[in-house]
Chain A
């Protein structure tokens, strides 16, 4: 898919403005557009359900583009278009999904971040994210505020790397 800034912004703002039952699908539609714009990344499925899990977006990765070159063949996106920050329980569950499926690169898109994101480094959510690194996972938490200022795929790639590095440095993500 070819990236287009106007389309990106249109889908993002639609997601931000969505209410009720439309919120989840709107965010997923936006994220599908974003991630499949990267070379070699395509959609495997949306809202995939198994008896024990639900996966919002599952992507196939041909390992062609910069950030995804070292990623697993599958990439998982979790979309939380909540009005409040996502709690550490949800973060842990997201990380479990990555581990169970052998997925290295996962993105938790939490519209308003994760809880304790602005508190000290011993917060559960951040600590869980950090602990998952030793298994080779590279979880990235993204918020609406961060996505709103992106203007290109290069910007997004830099953002992913910077978020990853913040986590490697045990900094607030």
Chain B
């Protein structure tokens, strides 16, 4: 389970590899871009989707004087931002101009979930990054620095790279709203991907819960968590989450499959993350599993949109499940 993966993009054939790298990464992907190549929109889209999944995408461009082979071998060499290379990234060319005019050529660009570009300013106060929102255009540049800076919550303990002190201001409720509004239009795989992204962001927002893996399909669950919490019916240890992006209610098969996966591993709680509620058979299956000592919780984007803290939402669902035991 990698916390950080470096992905070197130089060829359109690598898109599948990029997708795999993004899927496998628990936290950060370093995207090293060949300055001689044009970055296709779909690669950028993948990078944005990674940002949606709370994966930090750091954009690295090698020094102009460095050969591509040398650049591929090292991760620490990166150039000041080169606007003409990055025109595909919304607003990045404008942002880079802004950075240069304010003599911050060492600023590191990151893509984030809200599609804005965040720049970590190495010399700046710890809790400050520069957020550049391309939709507001050039007028922002003229208003000066104070209009751009935002306080961002830091979760440096989760970061594989101790030098990467970029904050994680993914607002889970906003993400849930965005995903809910898109869900009816998307195809099932896109819905699944986005719902999984929301689930990951939800659990990552809970202090004491760590995402350990997003395993392959055949295991019966989509996310493996480790809880350090022992509170409200939750015991420290592993938890399994099944993400279901169906547009029809969740039936007994899904509940039983998750329960089986949990029971087989001695995991005391299963969590369903779904757009839709349980069907009648699904509800009966949950009751049946509860009677056998295995609570199955259901979490939905609507729960998250409320704005309540994910920890409170989870504990509240746990309490409900405990009452069923």
Chain A residues with a Cβ under 8 A of chain B: 66, 69-70, 133-138, 161-162, 164-165, 168-170
Contacts and interface: CB of A to CB of B under 8 A. Distances in A.
Contact of B228 (A66, A135, A170): A66
Given A162-B212, A168-B238, A70 B230 contact: yes
Contacts, number: 43
A76 to B, nearest CB: 17
Contacts of B224: 165, 168-169
Dominant secondary structure of chain A at its interface with chain B: helix
Nearest to A69: B236
Interface string B222-252: 0010101010000111100000000000000
Contact of A134 (B212, B226, B237, B265): B265
Contacts of A69: 228, 230, 235-236
A100 to B, nearest CB: 17
B264 interface: yes
A137 B265 CA distance: 9
B124 interface: no
Contacts of A170: 219
B85 interface: no
Given A136-B266, A165-B212, A165-B224, 8 more contacts: A66-B236, A70-B235, A70-B236, A133-B266, A134-B264, A165-B1, A168-B224, A168-B238
Contacts of B212: 161-162, 165
Closest 10 CB pairs of A and B: A69-B236, A136-B266, A70-B236, A165-B212, A70-B237, A133-B265, A133-B266, A70-B235, A168-B265, A169-B215
Interface in B185-243: 210, 212-213, 215, 219, 224, 226, 228, 230, 235-238
Contact of B266 (A137, A161, A162, A169): A137
A165 B226 contact: yes
A134 B263 contact: yes
Nearest to A164: B238
A162 B1 contact: yes
A137 B215 CA distance: 21
Contacts of B226: 161, 165
Contacts of B238: 164-165, 168
Nearest to A154: B157
A70 B267 CA distance: 12
B69 to A, nearest CB: 30
B264 A133 contact: yes
A90 to B, nearest CB: 22
B213 A169 contact: yes
Contacts of A138: 237, 266
Contacts of B265: 133-134, 168
Contacts of A165: 1, 212-213, 224, 226, 238
A84 B236 CA distance: 35
B219 A135 contact: no
A69 B212 CA distance: 18
27 contacts: A66-B236, A69-B230, A69-B236, A70-B230, A70-B235, A70-B236, A133-B265, A134-B264, A134-B265, A134-B266, A135-B266, A138-B237, A161-B210, A161-B212, A162-B1, A165-B1, A165-B213, A165-B224, A165-B238, A168-B224, A168-B265, A168-B267, A169-B213, A169-B215, A169-B219, A169-B224, A170-B219
A92 to B, nearest CB: 17
Contacts of B266: 133-138
B183 to A, nearest CB: 29
